């Protein structure tokens, strides 16, 4: 493996750490999502029916909110993925 390559797990950890840090700092959800898109290659698809956020292979959807709740859902999914990665 090329030591210069960043693994998906490392990308996920970096994005998760960023989201948690910014949530603790009360950064607005739209600013967090904009940074994830710009710096972490996230895809954000707000929609009248279902809002979707995908970062580092982890996807979250939310029908009620395109911001705070969507980020909470994504952070929960990401933390579970990181926990599972530690056991593989």
58 Cβ contact partners less than 8 Å away, ≥ 6 residues apart: 12, 74, 77, 78, 81
Q: What pLDDT digit, counting tens, does each position of 15-29 carry?
A: 999 999 999 999 999
Task: Give the relative orientation of helices 8-24 and 68-86 as an angle to the nearest 10 degrees.
Answer: 140
Helical H runs in the chain?
Answer: 8-24, 29-40, 68-86
Positions of the chain with pLDDT lower than 70, given as ranges: 1-5, 88
pLDDT recorded at residue 59: 97
Q: Where are the domains of the chain?
A: 8-86
pTM for the predicted model, two decimal places: 0.88
């Amino acid at each position: 493996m090329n030591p210069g390559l960043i693994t998906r797990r490392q990308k996920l950890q970096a994005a998760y750490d960023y989201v948690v840090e910014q949530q603790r700092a009360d950064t607005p959800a739209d600013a967090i999502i904009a940074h994830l898109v710009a710096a972490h290659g996230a895809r954000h698809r707000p929609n009248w029916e279902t809002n979707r956020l995908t970062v580092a292979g982890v996807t979250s959807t939310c029908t009620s909110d395109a911001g705070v709740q969507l980020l909470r859902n994504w952070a929960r999914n990401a933390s579970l993925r990181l926990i599972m990665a530690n056991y593989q």
